[in-house]
Amino acid sequence: MIHRILVTGGAGFLGSHLCERLVEEGHDVICLDNFFTSQKSNVVHLLNRPNFELIRHDITLPIFLEVDQIYNLACPAAPGHYQFNPIKTMKTSVMGVINMLGIAKRCGARFLQASTSEVYGDPDVHPQPESYRGSVNPIGPRACYDEGKRAAESICMDYRRSNNVDARIVRIFNTYGPRMHPYDGRVVSNFIRQALRNEPITIFGDGEQTRSFCYRDDLVEAIVRMMNNSEGFAGPVNIGNQGEFTIRQLAEMVMEKVGGESKLVQKPLPTDDPTRRRPDIRLAKEKLDWEPTTPLSEGLQKTIDWFRSIDIDDYQPPTP
Ligand code: NAD
Ligand code: UDP
């Protein structure tokens, strides 16, 4: 069945891949983005497709659209990006989700919220199941993102309970791949950029903190399955790769693949940086019949190949 689908944040790293997939499937896709952390080049190849439309718009402001599915991905996702204007980040999560849920309510559209593993904060349960309620510092520099996303989850569930909106929630763990913004400050993009330029690889803290890295194709597959599951399963559901690596191991893998002469340097650990993170994905397996298939080594190689193919200086850090 062909749907009319709105993808907010559709020009971003994950959003642009999702738009691509939905356009290929023949849906009518409206990509909405304010280009805060992305650029048109991510979707320029879709502009001549008759079933793709691009709107420059900020989701903190209302907009009137007719659609039957909404993927709400608009929100800066990298710490450097979301801390750039923390109040705007909170507004995007809270006012943005209310505006988009308003469209869902009026149109009877199905709604999928891109939440995050950051709702678990610096977790004291490991790996993290969906039932874990998290350990977030509500007043720290990451709170604009973590608490914004937690509030967005609450709002989704209230629209379900009070207004019968079919809102669904995915909690996305660290995801990487081609089209990550080279200057987003995230660990994968930083390490690849630094290695390609023979610059020092910046390890924050002792590098023993862990993350689990999911390749973008696996992620896109999961969120499409979540949107389309016919059981009405609403989540929240964890989406991520269970492989757990220390940041030092990641640095070594990137250096080995890129070659070059970069050396590791240690920098201070940012405030409230989670010590470890790994998703419990049993629920995704059970309800969506999904699990990731791309090993880190393969996904990193594809990401490095993409970084080699672009001019990194075409990408600029975000502006207000
Ligand atoms: P991204 O920064 O590449 O994409 C976000 C997009 O949203 C960008 O195109 C940006 O310009 C747009 N945007 C930001 N604020 C907006 C606003 N107010 N109005 C309209 N557009 C706006 O990041 P991404 O990695 O593609 O993340 C996409 C979504 O997935 C985000 O909601 C993020 O929180 C979530 N997520 C991502 C990860 C990850 O590891 N990539 C992990 C957890 C959650
Ligand atoms: N990190 C690092 N060097 C960098 C960038 C990040 O050591 O140049 C660390 C960071 O402190 C964190 C981990 O890598 O422990 C993942 O950081 P990222 O910003 O990618 O994601 P998040 O902290 O949101 O999971």
Check if 10 has its Cβ closer than 6 Å to any atom of ligand 1.
no
**Pairwise CA distance, residues 231 & 177, whole Å:** 30
Atom 23 of ligand 2, residue of closest alpha carbon: 273
Among all bound ligands, the one having the nearest atom to the CA of 203 is: 2
Nearest to 299 by CA among 217, 185, 197: 217
Measured from the CA of 175, which atom of ligand 1 is nearest? Answer: 40
Measured from the CA of 117, which atom of ligand 2 is nearest? Answer: 25
Pocket test for ligand 1, best of 55, 172, 184 (most atoms within 8 A of CB): 172
ipTM higher than threshold 0.95 = yes
Active centre residues (catalytic): 145
Contacts of 75 (CB under 8 A, 6+ apart): 9, 82, 89, 92, 93, 96, 114, 145, 148, 149
**74 alpha carbon to ligand 1 midpoint, in Å?**
5
b (16+ CB within 10 A) / e for 75-107: bbbbbbbbbbbbebbbbbbbbbbbbbbbbbbeb
Among all bound ligands, the one having the nearest atom to the CA of 186 is: 2
- CATH class of residue range 4-175+215-239: alpha beta
Per-residue pLDDT of the chain (320 residues; tens, 9 = 90+): 999 999 999 999 999 999 999 999 999 999 999 999 998 999 999 999 999 999 999 999 999 999 999 999 999 998 889 999 999 999 999 999 999 999 999 999 999 999 999 999 999 999 999 999 999 999 999 999 999 999 999 999 999 999 999 999 999 999 999 999 999 889 999 999 999 999 999 999 999 999 999 999 999 999 999 999 988 999 999 999 999 999 999 999 999 999 989 999 999 999 989 999 999 999 999 999 999 999 999 999 999 999 999 988 888 766 54
